[in-house]
Chains A and B, each alone.
Chain A
């Protein structure tokens, strides 16, 4: 069974701090790893990683994948109160459904709750 584990489960920091969120996985037939930010209810897409060692960056957020270690980190520098959210890691693996349909299936970690205080 595919498994994704995130750590820490929760994190409390002050504005301006830098945080590192971890994601490790055990997946058969890995295709990609995705990071989402969830505020209130809807997760919003942050990054999709497919190759080891290539950093993806968007403003103060960056992420990198290590396929050898079966893990990924999400870094947030100079945190702001607006970064407070649940950060979800998901791993995509191709599946074959009924009728031979091929599709990607996501397995999510339990999330890291980040709280940034002013």
Chain B
């Protein structure tokens, strides 16, 4: 696609429910990143994909968080049993370069609100 696309743009969910956030990267970009931004905070790294594999999952905050990528393209971030502290904007970025991250392109993000 022309840019990184994320869906939904906003999601309100009840505490304890599972949610899935989707990221569709720029066509041909092999590197894909998920970040989280809480209110008034900078971006917090969650996970990095190169192709379909995730060499770095170190930022996932708990085992309630998981992510997968299929076909070297679309990625899904799943949060199970959501908690109020999971409320944040979840940003996805993609890049065409394997070893030099450079200017990755960000999607518009998904604003998750857990009530």
Contact = CB atoms under 8 A, between A and B. Distances in A.
Nearest to B56: A97
A97 B108 contact: no
A41 B111 contact: yes
B107 interface: yes
B25 interface: no
Given A42-B109, A97-B56, A108 B43 contact: yes
Given A40-B108, A95-B56, 5 more contacts: A32-B100, A34-B103, A43-B106, A102-B99, A106-B104
Contacts of A41: 89, 91, 108-109, 111
Contact of A42 (B31, B50, B99, B106): B106
Give the interface centre of B33, B54, B99 by most chain A CB atoms within 10 Å. B99
Nearest to B105: A45
A85 interface: no
Contacts of B105: 45
